[in-house]
Structure 1
């Protein structure tokens, strides 16, 4: 396993959290036009609301940092009632990640993952990162994006792929 694995994961999480903050900023600019309580909007009745999607997006990198530093997972409160709280969760998570952006550590070898009252999974460190944390992170990030789109807010693929913009170049004529 490459020794820069923790740094690479931290950079990925951080750049996508910047995208999440960008999406919320675009949404906040028009939220009053859409509905006053847009953080409670859902894509489907059995899906979690926008505020909770934001929290769950933040929980994955938070738990990544806690895991690589030998601490227990600690999820944020899933109830988010204001945009300021959602934005603070993102900022706090990015601050937590900042200490690992240049970390040269290896991933821990194992992760015991509790999945409810009667379920668990014992995973390698790579499996925990690649098969649990990252897929959950992207699921909740994409769901946040989809909810904002569903509300009619002006977000597009360019906003979602924000991390690539520094690499985009104009072709010389």
Structure 2
């Protein structure tokens, strides 16, 4: 049975909804604790890992960037500076709108097209489907899970249901 790459896009949309939910829960907790929004966005699991801001930026921007590449479109503009919560929410909304506006079938039509990407130390050429299913999807869920873990580690009352806030 073949799986449409659009199925992955649906998963990203659900994940973006989950990310918004996690941010709302984190912000409510931070306010209860007297922690500023700016301080909350600096929370991290370990000194050498991305902070919450960067995890959220990566989920939103990486998804937008890699789906655009897979479609053969130019990369969208990156985040600039240190965005606050309003800018992060706007980027999540922008990414959602981009994904919802994809032309049905266009991504699947490019599934076997070769795509070369510079990853810093290597520049592999792989079929678009492999980039989407292996590279993009793994990174998407990794950074989404790290945002969850950062908030949970700080005491935000989250459970498994919160990770599925966007739906199954």
Q: TM-score range by the shorter chain?
A: 0.7 to 0.9
Match of 1:104 in 2: 105
Q: Label 1:55 to 1:162 Cα distance change in 2 as closer, same or farther (>3 A).
A: same
Runs of at least 5 residues in structure 2 that lack an aligned partner in the other structure: none
Q: What corresponds to 1:128 in structure 2?
A: 131
Taking the aligned partners of 1:46 and 1:72, their CA distance within structure 2 comes to 31
Aligned pairs (5 A) from 1:43-82 = 43-74=45-76, 76-77=78-79, 79-82=81-84
TM-score (norm 2): 0.86
- 1:155 aligns with 158
Structure 1 ranges of 4+ moved more than 3 A:
78-81
Q: What count of residue pairs does the alignment treat as equivalent?
A: 162
The secondary structure found in structure 2 opposite 1:17 is helix
Alpha-carbon contact 2:42-2:52 (below 8 Å) kept: yes
SS in 2 for 1:85: helix
Does the Cα contact within 8 Å between 1:16 and 1:163 map onto a contact in 2? yes
Structure 1 residues without counterparts, runs of 5 or longer: 166-173
* Contact 1:19–1:163 (8 Å) recurs in 2: yes
1:112–1:22 distance in 2 versus 1, CA, 3 Å? same
